[in-house]
Amino acid sequence: MDKKEILERYKKVEDKLLISKFFDRIDLCEKTNKIETTDFLNELEQNIIQKVINISQIDNCVFFGGFEEADRKLAIVFPEKMRGLFENDSFKYDTIFSVFRIKIPENDIKSYNHSVYLGGIIKLGIKREKVGDIIVLPDGADIIVKKETEKFLYANLKTLTRFKDADVLNVLLDKLETTEKKFEKIKLITSSLRLDNVVSELAKTSRNRANEMIEQERVFVNYEQEGKNTKLVKEKDIITIRGKGKFIIDEVAGNTKKGNYIIIARKYA
């Protein structure tokens, strides 16, 4: 299947642009015989690119975001001469990624969360897709970026008021500090396992509003946009609602006396 046929499968302009940019990386890798990378992709974008890889039978591409459990990852396209490095897991990813460790003064740390760190970087004019995972730590954060932004960030981070008293340094990937992902446990009571019912409970909104979200293509099941409000939700499904968060359905735990379903879920904190 050629590029044009693959692109015709997708209706959204942003999806077509994402795929076109990926094919550009493939072409450039072939021409230069050097590694090429996309920007950081969220999980929905990774799912789209993975489908393209499968359809096109591309075997010289890997996803990596600085550590195995990263949410945001680059698609890394490598030339044939480097296949052994990737297959033997001996490629040095520090040539692609840079990690900024920001240490916040103890008296300020309580007010610093993920949004504060990301907002500061974006304020410097760096686009979201140039920034990977931000790992919030007890005394600051480790921020993963593409190597190409390293010099600019190092020169400018401390010009921001929020970071002027912080210590900023580069660390290697093997020194990256990771934390366990945090979840909020949720118990839902719903009359049906239909997607619109479950979305209504997860988003804490009316069923009519839930249906609007589905129609607006804001609801994804297992990283696939889902337009059928009658789709039945199953255990282990991952439901993403744009603007509301990402949820994992852990268990359909039975029924109430009135016959409603009891659902145990988790929301990514």
At 3 the pLDDT is 87
Please give the structure tokens belonging to residue 222.
């297992």
**Predicted TM-score (pTM) of this structure:** 0.88
| pLDDT tens-digit readout, 205-250 | 999 999 999 999 999 999 999 999 999 999 999 999 999 999 999 9
**For residue 238, what pLDDT is reported?**
96
Q: Where are the domains of the chain?
A: 3-91, 95-175, 183-268
Work out the mean pLDDT of the chain and round it to a whole number: 95
Predicted local confidence at residue 126, as pLDDT: 95
Torsion of CA 98, 112, 43, 173, to 10 degrees: 20
Residues of the chain with pLDDT under 70: 1
Fold for 3-91, please state it.
Ribosomal Protein S8; Chain: A, domain 1 (3.30.1370)
Residue 244 and residue 222 in contact, taking contact as beta carbons nearer than 8 Å: no
CATH architecture of 95-175: 2-Layer Sandwich (3.30)
Annotate 112-152 with three-state secondary structure. Answer: CCHHHHHHHHHHCCCCHHHEEEEEEECCEEEEEEEHHHHHH
Q: Which CATH class is domain 183-268?
A: alpha beta
pLDDT at 268: 85
Distance in angstroms between the alpha carbons of the first and the last residue of the chain: 40
